[in-house]
Structure 1
Amino acid sequence: MTDDPSDPTTPPRTADAFTADSPFTLPGFFAALAEGDLLAAVCADCGTRLLPPRPACYACGSRNLRTEPQPRTGEVATYTEVRTPPPALADRAPYTVAVVELDSGARLTGRVTAPYDVLDIGTRVRLTTRPPDDDELAMARDHEREWPIHEFEPV
């Protein structure tokens, strides 16, 4: 691992080195996603993939991490139907949310563009992104308003 603070693929080592555009922060993760890059942190010590990336591994505590591009395809690991959503999304209920295991082994949670009753564990899906609509913008915090919405669609 390099200690080069200008290398965006390695986590910052000090609080002063962290900036919002680092891919190891949520704003940085969503900025990369908006540009078409799905990035995970990969721990060099234990191999855990962290998605969204974090500056330290939640499996072993190591800071020996690098960001790596991830595939946009995977399988539904588990899923549920949301029947009581936040008020701004009430007219969309019910909708489906899944934990998807990407082909790399990383896992990401997101909405699925298919009804609950057509999914199964193991359904193949692909990650898509789109700008937030008015209802989603109404729920977003100021710093989240530019973040793309990520959804999975069956393939």
Structure 2
Amino acid sequence: MSDDTTPTPVPHSPDEYTADSPFTLPGFFAALADGDLLAAVCGDCGVHLIPPRPACYACGGRNLRAEPQPRTGDVVTYTEVRTPPPALADRAPYTIAVVELDTGARLTGRLTVPYADATIDMRVRLTTRPPADDELAMARQHERDWPIHEFEPA
């Protein structure tokens, strides 16, 4: 995990964006692979956006900075996937949830518990792991190094 807790300001021109910018999906997942869960925090309205993006979807502002986020939160909603993409057919059924992190940011991911054991307001913690072979089969070339994020009961 990174020791640097200095917020990263949003780039304001295309020339300022790099592949490792946390305001791009590759940069977000690279940070996650390093142990850092980042959100863009809007300096105008305070909304937390995961993954970070260069403009706030709540107020349209561009006064954003990338900041580390907690890995804990509560399940807001969940569903069971019974008909997955073909590469994940052997994993069905599995549970997907929207989790509100302790800062208010929301992130969608798999729950490590069966659907019958999931509940609204269930306390969970984000974990990451390398993708399995079946998940790699579904990934585009640039996504092959991206970690899989899952929520387990806290």
Q: TM-score, normalised by structure 1?
A: 0.94
Structure 2 CA distance for aligned equivalents of residues 134 and 95 of structure 1? 17
Structure 2 CA distance for aligned equivalents of residues 53 and 126 of structure 1? 20
Residue equivalent to 2:129? 130
Question: Which amino acid counterpart does residue 85 of structure 1 have in structure 2?
Answer: P
How many residue pairs get aligned? The number is 149
Structure 2 CA distance for aligned equivalents of residues 52 and 104 of structure 1? 14
Following TM superposition, where does structure 1 have runs of at least 4 consecutive aligned residues deviating by more than 2 angstroms? none
Which consecutive residues of structure 2, in runs of 5 or more, have no partner in the other structure? 1-5
Q: How does 1:57-96 map to 2 (within 5 A)?
A: 57-96=56-95
Q: CA deviation at 1:138?
A: 0.5
Partner deviation per Cα, 1:38-70 (whole Å, 9 max, x = no partner): 000000101110000001101111110011110
Residue equivalent to 1:12? 11
Contact 1:110–1:151, Cα closer than 8 Å, also in 2: yes
Q: CA deviation at 1:11?
A: 1.1
Which consecutive residues of structure 1, in runs of 5 or more, have no partner in the other structure? 1-6
Q: How many percent identity over aligned positions?
A: 79
Structure 2 CA distance for aligned equivalents of residues 31 and 111 of structure 1? 19
Q: TM-score, normalised by structure 2?
A: 0.95
Whether 2:47 is the aligned partner of 1:48: answer yes
